[in-house]
Amino acid sequence: MLIRTPALGEPELSALSKIEELRTALSRQVYEPRRWTGSLRRMTFARNIQGSNSIEGFVASLDDTDAVALREEPLDTANETRMALEGYRNAMTYILQLAQEPHFRVSTDTIKSLHFMMTGYDLANYPGRWRPGAIYVHNESTQEIVYEGADVEEVPTLMEELSENLNLSENEHPIIRGAMAHLNLVMIHPFRDGNGRMSRGVQSMVMAQEGVLAPVFMSIEEYLSQHTQEYYDVLNRVGGRRWNPESNARPWIRFVLQAHNDQAHQMQYRYREAEFVWSRLERIQEKAGIPERTISVLFDACFGYRIRHSTYKATVAESGEVISDQTASRDLTKLAAESLLLPRGEKRGRFYVAGNLITSIRKEFRDSRKESGEDKLFPDFFGN
């Protein structure tokens, strides 16, 4: 038996209603034909990959994570971290593809395949296989056992039930379904390693099946990485010290609803910021007489990315335009000559960062928000 979804009361239903309003508004915005939406989507995808992996100790800068998402080499990320990022990228890309299948059904084979993609860089992880024995979660500072997963003999049956539950609970709101899938998987702890990443990935898979708003924009992985201790605390509160299907999931449901609310508000803020930045860059591009395709790389630089020859080409290719090495070099040289980008490093280690004019754009946006009285404080649904 799995941990059951609690009956939703007025506080949870009210929170869901407000989140739905945000999601509906955001879905209209991101599906409008705007040139910068692709850049925002790519950057958000990188934040999701970065967030989920940083919780597990695989820390990389956003521009290195974006490079991995573009299938380019990162600048200074450790090899094991790079492989973890690549694995998560592959799994999430697979999820986004599955979401387009009209008759897709989740199975234990689907879940095992995702696990193999995420952790297959190390066979010691038993990628794509249920764990072979008992598993314990330790407090790293004290080495105390804080949680014990389900008995190994129960794992196959519980995971079959979880898979079937995902296919049969269509009347349940996808945010709630995703939250419960996350909770049950992480509490069963079916794998030797990667249970946290898998739980967050499966939650995104549930959201992807819904189709109302691209799961790239609905993921809460970034939020969880920014509130990791709260995330662990609520899982400990709900889960106790070992697998217990009688656990009360209400605190977890409330935590996830708050996470979705905050993340949706954050996406609306970033949407407006991206629109503002892109409009300013278009003016700069016209005045400087540089190619339109360079706006995307200036956009990345404005958000703190280190720009390289290879990632510039890959970014342009994402928009459907293929440029040669010579064209890429000429564009970057022109941007540096205009002081829009500043070169750093030498030869193969050369990269570019935003010049003063580019870095000032986001400050201008933030200042305009302060003057208008807007801020980024999001409502707390449950008085936590």
Give the per-residue pLDDT at 375: 55
User: Do 247 and 311 lie in a common domain?
Assistant: no
User: Do 254 and 301 lie in a common domain?
Assistant: no
Is residue 7 one of the residues assigned to a domain? no
Give the per-residue pLDDT at 157: 97
Is residue 60 one of the residues assigned to a domain? yes
CATH code, 177: 1.10.3290.10
Is residue 6 one of the residues assigned to a domain? no
Handedness of CA 224, 229, 232, 235 (dihedral sign): negative
Is residue 10 one of the residues assigned to a domain? no
User: Do 98 and 172 lie in a common domain?
Assistant: yes
d(CA 179, CA 151): 22
User: Do 89 and 173 lie in a common domain?
Assistant: yes
Q: CA separation (Å) from 305 to 62, 64, 259, 368?
A: 7, 8, 26, 23
- Quick one: which H or E segment has residue 343? strand 341-344
Give the per-residue pLDDT at 80: 94
DSSP 102: T
CATH code, 337: 1.10.10.10
d(CA 279, CA 281): 5
Give the per-residue pLDDT at 25: 85
The CA-based angle 117-50-84, given to 5 degrees, is: 30
Give how many domains the chain has, as a whole number.
2
pLDDT in tens, the chain (384 residues): 999 999 999 999 999 999 988 888 888 777 666 777 888 889 999 999 999 999 999 999 999 999 999 999 999 899 999 999 999 999 999 988 887 787 888 899 999 999 999 999 999 999 999 999 999 988 777 888 889 999 999 999 999 999 999 887 667 888 999 999 999 999 999 999 999 999 999 998 888 877 655 667 888 999 999 999 999 999 999 999 999 999 999 999 999 999 999 999 999 899 999 999 999 999 999 999 999 999 999 999 999 999 999 999 999 998 889 999 999 999 999 999 999 999 998 877 899 999 999 999 999 998 887 766 555 556 677 765
One-letter amino acid for residue 101 of the chain = E
Give the per-residue pLDDT at 380: 72
User: Do 207 and 101 lie in a common domain?
Assistant: yes
Is residue 42 one of the residues assigned to a domain? yes
Question: Domain range spanning residue 356?
Answer: 289-371
User: Do 254 and 297 lie in a common domain?
Assistant: no
Q: 220: which 2 tokens? A: 């809460």
Give the per-residue pLDDT at 371: 61
Is residue 302 one of the residues assigned to a domain? yes
Instruction: Give the pairing type, strands 341-344 and 351-354.
Output: antiparallel
Is residue 301 one of the residues assigned to a domain? yes
Give the per-residue pLDDT at 170: 65
User: Do 257 and 320 lie in a common domain?
Assistant: no
Give the per-residue pLDDT at 206: 87
Mean pLDDT estimate for the chain? 90
User: Do 117 and 218 lie in a common domain?
Assistant: yes
Question: CB neighbours of 199 closer than 8 A, spacing ≥ 6?
Answer: 181, 182, 183, 185, 186
User: Do 253 and 319 lie in a common domain?
Assistant: no
Give the per-residue pLDDT at 138: 82
What phi and psi, each to the nearest 5 degrees, are found at residue 136?
A: -130, 140
**pLDDT digits over 86-136, tens only?**
999 999 999 888 877 878 888 999 999 999 999 999 999 999 999 999 999
User: Among 139, 140, 144, 249, which residue's Cα sits nearest to residue 187?
Assistant: 249
β-bridge mates for residue 354, sequence order: 341
Is residue 351 one of the residues assigned to a domain? yes
In this prediction the pTM is 0.92
